[in-house]
Every structure is written in C-alpha cells, then in structure tokens.
Amino acid sequence: MAVVLESLATLSVLVFVVTSMLAMGLSLTVGQIIEPLRNLRLVAKALVANFVLVPLLAYGILLVIPLTDAQSIGLILLATAAGAPFLPKLVEMAKSDVAFGVGLMVLLMVVTVAYVPVVLPFLLPGVQVSPLEIASSLVVLMLVPLAIGLFVKARYGDTAATWQPTVNQISSTALVFLVVLMLVLNFQTLISVVGTGALLAFAVLIVGSLVLGWVLGGPGTDTRPVLGLGTAQRNVSAALVVGAANFDDPNVVVMLVVGATLMGLLIVVAGELGKRSQRPEAVPSAEEATYDD
C-alpha cells in the first residue's frame, strides 16, 4: 500500500509541476513576466533575501537549536535552494501578481543552479554538486511546459484561453492530492522528529524567510506577498537532488521531506492573503444613486 501511495505522490508532483507551469504560460506573455524584473532594486532585494539572508538565518538557527548532523544538513540544503515550482500557484492563491511570481520563480531557479554548486562545498565540506543534475529536472519539468504555454498563448490566443481553465483545474486537483498524500506518507516521519528540535528549526526557517521576503518586498502591496512567499517556499526538488546524491545518511532526505511537508502550511498563508486582498465592491454614494435613477 505504501508503495502505491508513494507512486501516486510522485505522479501528483509531476502532474502538478507540469500543469501549473503550462497553465501559467497559457495565461501570460513573455513581456508580462519580464516587466516586473526590470525593477533592478526589487530583483536585488529578492536575490539578497534568498541567497544571503535565508542561509544566514539557517546558520543562526543552528547556533540556537541543537540538531543532529543530518538535520543540520537538511536545513542548510533547503536554505540555499530557491525558485520552487509551487510559487506561482501560491501567488495565484494569494491573489497577487502572478506574472511577477513566475518571473521571480524562473530568476531564483536559474540562480540556484549556479549558486548551489559554488556555495555548498564551502558550507558543507566534501559535498560535490553537479549543476547539470539540478538543472536537468528543473528545466524539463518547469521551463519547457512554461515555454510551450507561452508559445501557444502568443500564437493561438483563443486556444490558450480555452485550455487554460482546464489545465489550471488539473493543477489545483493534483496539488490537493499531493498535500493529502504527503501528510499520509510522512505522518510517522513527522511524529518521529517531534521533540528533536527539527520541527521548530524548520518552522523558524519558514516563518523567518516569509518575514524577510515580506519586508524586502515592500512598499508595493502587489510585490510584498510575492517576495514573501517566494522566499519562504524553498526549492525542495533541487535540495533533494543534492541530498540524495551526496549523503548516505537517509535521515538527510527524511529531513528534506519534513521541511517540504511543513512548507505545505504556506498554502494556508496564501489562502488567507487572498481573502484579505479581496475588497468589497464600492457602495455608490447618494449623489451617484440619485444620478443613476
């Protein structure tokens, strides 16, 4: 039974990532994605938040919360990997700037491919990281579907408008299945780390990263939630590639799974942000009502 659930979880990840990227491409243009990234100050803040402040936060956590070697490695791996495929969906749920969310995801993902192989050997001596191993899966599962969606949108606008709602619904359904399966499959794992400090460490990393991104994303109300969620949602796929290839201790991968499961709580955060972003329709003034009559 566990094997079947694991297979379903893997399939759910693939379906979610591919369809979410395709749906984003079908609804956006290249210009819409690039435009927010022309704000060099905001881009600089995003890079500092994800590749300087979050790793520093992780090291600060390790100084305060005692963890095992495997738990510490898992925390560092997540702290150094950014550009998660879940970001555009979180931004969509938060009813924020989806175009900026996609652009930020692509930017962070590309930088992660170059950043992780350079930085990790200094942070974790003995680690050898191949950029191609990280890039291959990310490019195939994320950039290719996004590019296909953008092409269809640019050349066949009517077809894109017809397909986008269906593809988006498939993506949302796959996400629901994935969250449920992750909780079912990893429940015992989560229970096993209770009392070790690992849950607290990952919770502090996620919340702290959200706050860092939120603060640096201001003052724009449309960019603050995107950078907040984009900084908190780490690239678990890239971290798993590095963790599985470099460490014999299975607890490293276990800790990455724990971190990924806790990041599922960002769905709740994004949903609450989406509710707060909704504004009631303006009530016409007495003069406007009289004029309409």
Query: What pLDDT, in 10s, does the model give residues 159-197?
Result: 999 998 999 889 888 878 877 887 777 777 777 777 778
Furthest C-alpha separation in the chain: 77
Q: Is the pLDDT of residue 95 over 50?
A: yes
Give the closest residue to 87 by CA, choosing from 175, 191, 162: 175
Q: How confident is the model at residue 278 (pLDDT cuts 50, 70, 90)?
A: low
Residues 6+ apart with CB under 8 A from 4: none
Give the closest residue to 138 by CA, choosing from 74, 180, 81: 81
Q: What's residue 75's pLDDT? A: 93
Q: How confident is the model at residue 89 (pLDDT cuts 50, 70, 90)?
A: confident
Please, is 18 exposed, middle or buried when counting C-beta atoms within 10 Å of its C-beta (0-12, 13-18, 19+)? buried
Q: Mean pLDDT, the chain, as a whole number?
A: 83
131-138 and 98-123 helices cross at what angle (nearest 10)? 160
CA pseudo-torsion sign 142, 145, 147, 150: negative
Q: Is the pLDDT of residue 292 over 70?
A: no
Domain membership of residue 269 (yes or no) is yes
- 19 near 174, Cβ under 8 Å? yes
Q: What is the DSSP letter of 235?
A: -
Q: Which of 100-109, 149-158, 201-210 has the lowest mean pLDDT?
A: 100-109
Q: Is the pLDDT of residue 139 over 90?
A: no
Domain membership of residue 289 (yes or no) is no
Number of domains in the chain: 1
Torsion angle (degrees, nearest 10) of CA 90, 93, 96, 98: 60
Domain membership of residue 162 (yes or no) is yes
Q: What is the DSSP letter of 39?
A: -
Domain membership of residue 99 (yes or no) is yes
Domain membership of residue 281 (yes or no) is no
Q: What's residue 283's pLDDT? A: 39
Distances (CA, A) of 227 to 24, 83, 136, 147, 260: 18, 11, 25, 23, 19
């984009």: which residue's tokens?
A: 230
Alpha-carbon span 225 to 167, nearest angstrom: 24
Alpha-carbon span 222 to 214, nearest angstrom: 11
Alpha-carbon span 184 to 214, nearest angstrom: 31
Percent of the chain clearing pLDDT 90 (strictly above): 29
Q: What's residue 62's pLDDT? A: 92
Q: Is the pLDDT of residue 284 over 50?
A: no
Alpha-carbon span 35 to 231, nearest angstrom: 20
Q: What is the DSSP letter of 284?
A: P
Q: How confident is the model at residue 58 (pLDDT cuts 50, 70, 90)?
A: very high
Domain membership of residue 6 (yes or no) is yes
Amino acid at 33: I
Domain membership of residue 78 (yes or no) is yes
Domain membership of residue 152 (yes or no) is yes
Alpha-carbon span 230 to 86, nearest angstrom: 9
Domain limits for position 105: 2-274
Give the closest residue to 78 by CA, choosing from 203, 189, 181: 203
Q: What's residue 132's pLDDT? A: 77
CATH number of the domain bearing residue 74? 1.20.1530.20
- 89 near 20, Cβ under 8 Å? yes
Alpha-carbon span 20 to 289, nearest angstrom: 43
Q: Is the pLDDT of residue 30 over 50?
A: yes
Q: How confident is the model at residue 122 (pLDDT cuts 50, 70, 90)?
A: confident
